[in-house]
Amino acid sequence: MDAALDTVRTALQPVTHNLPGPIHDLGLSLLGPKCYQKLIRDIDPVAHPECLKLAISKGLGIGIIGASSIVKVPQLVKLVRSQSAEGVSFLAYALETAAYLIGLAYNARSGFPFSTYGETALIAVQNVAIAALVLHFKGRDAGAAAWVAGLAAAGYALFDNGIVDAKTLATLQAAGGVLSIASKAPQIVEVYRQGGTGQLSAFAVFNYLLGSLSRIFTTMQEVGDQLILFGFVAGFLLNAVLAIQMIYYWNAPASRGGKSKSKGKGKKKATEKPVQAKEKDSGKPLATSTSASKAKSPSTRRRG
């Protein structure tokens, strides 16, 4: 093990000792002077596992932020292409966006590393667009405008210490954890009620699942805030339920409403077949209604 590490160290140290200034500064800001020296310059991760965990956490955090920049794009594309919001719950997005907005303000004002919460800003922006589209496709354009304006006002208040103080923000963060949990419930219920996932994006669901799992690790490693950790653990569990639903309903062709309609059509066709069979056997068309036969029969009633 030591021999292999020495070989790697000999090969890489000429590079790590001469990194470009921007890369050197970025690594130093992410890892700190001690861990940067031990991991990058000395290349000695085995003797310093705490630095290795920090590096993994930073890598996961940056990866999550990068993925979050496009995580909801497939959902947006599906909505725009289909011009339908079937299977997508506005309430779920509204609750999730509220929780993210509170979490973003709490993390930023608490001075936590951006790598531990940066995705909330990117996902929140995408959520606002998705929720507005859902309202638009349901014919509620005025509601979509009110939704965007209300979020802008709420965001301004949350980031202003003169309007929302630190103690109140901590209370809101606790409530935000509950909102984050509650945000998944309407979507889970909507999928169950529809009997399918409709326009729900599988890419978004599974990325959420992996992201929330990774965030549990990064929060424990870098933040240690129980309020934030609680939200990520609960979010992971409910994201797992959504992922299971996505797999279960993967080949579902339509919602239950559509299924019931197709069953009704099938019954109608089934009742038509015996009538057609009787016509074939007799060689004569059968009367379809008593009113029609009455109209054809002569009247014996005297006129005048």
- Residue predicted with more confidence, 159 or 228: 159
Per-residue confidence (pLDDT) for residue 253, from 0 to 100: 58
Instruction: Round to whole Å and give the CA distance between 287 and 296.
Output: 11
Instruction: Round to whole Å and give the CA distance between 35 and 29.
Output: 10
| Structural domain contains residue 219 | yes
Q: Answer yes or no: is pLDDT of 265 > 80.
A: no
Q: How confident is the model at residue 266 (pLDDT cuts 50, 70, 90)?
A: very low
**Could you write out the DSSP letters of every residue in 167-225?**
HHHHHHHHHHHHHHHHHHHHHHHHHHHHTS-TT--HHHHHHHHHHHHHHHHHIIIII--
Residues 286-298, mean pLDDT to the nearest whole number:
44
Number of domains in the chain: 1
Instruction: Round to whole Å and give the CA distance between 292 and 49.
Output: 90
Of 5-19, 47-61, 74-88, 148-162, which has the strongest mean pLDDT? Answer: 148-162
User: Structural domain of residue 223, as residue ranges?
Assistant: 70-254
Q: What does the mean pLDDT of the chain come to?
A: 80
Of 46-55, 251-260, 267-276, which has the strongest mean pLDDT? Answer: 46-55
Does residue 58 contact residue 30 with C-beta atoms inside 8 Å?
yes
| Structural domain contains residue 25 | no
Conformation bin of residue 285: beta by default, left when phi > 0, alpha when psi is -120 to 50: beta
Per-residue confidence (pLDDT) for residue 281, from 0 to 100: 52
Per-residue confidence (pLDDT) for residue 283, from 0 to 100: 53
- Residue predicted with more confidence, 163 or 262: 163
Neighbour-count burial of 270, counting CB atoms closer than 10 A to its CB (0-12 exposed, 13-18 middle, 19+ buried): exposed
Residues 46-59, mean pLDDT to the nearest whole number:
87
105: number of Cβ within 10 Å: 22
| Structural domain contains residue 135 | yes
- Residue predicted with more confidence, 140 or 1: 140
Contacts of 152 (CB under 8 A, 6+ apart): none
Neighbour-count burial of 129, counting CB atoms closer than 10 A to its CB (0-12 exposed, 13-18 middle, 19+ buried): middle
| Structural domain contains residue 292 | no
Share of the chain above pLDDT 90, in %: 20
Return the SS3 of 85.
coil
Per-residue confidence (pLDDT) for residue 127, from 0 to 100: 93
Q: How confident is the model at residue 22 (pLDDT cuts 50, 70, 90)?
A: confident
Look at the pTM and tell me if it is higher than 0.85: no
Per-residue confidence (pLDDT) for residue 60, from 0 to 100: 87
| Structural domain contains residue 122 | yes
Instruction: Round to whole Å and give the CA distance between 39 and 45.
Output: 6
| Structural domain contains residue 272 | no
Q: How confident is the model at residue 218 (pLDDT cuts 50, 70, 90)?
A: confident
| Structural domain contains residue 14 | no
- Residue predicted with more confidence, 147 or 211: 147
| Structural domain contains residue 35 | no
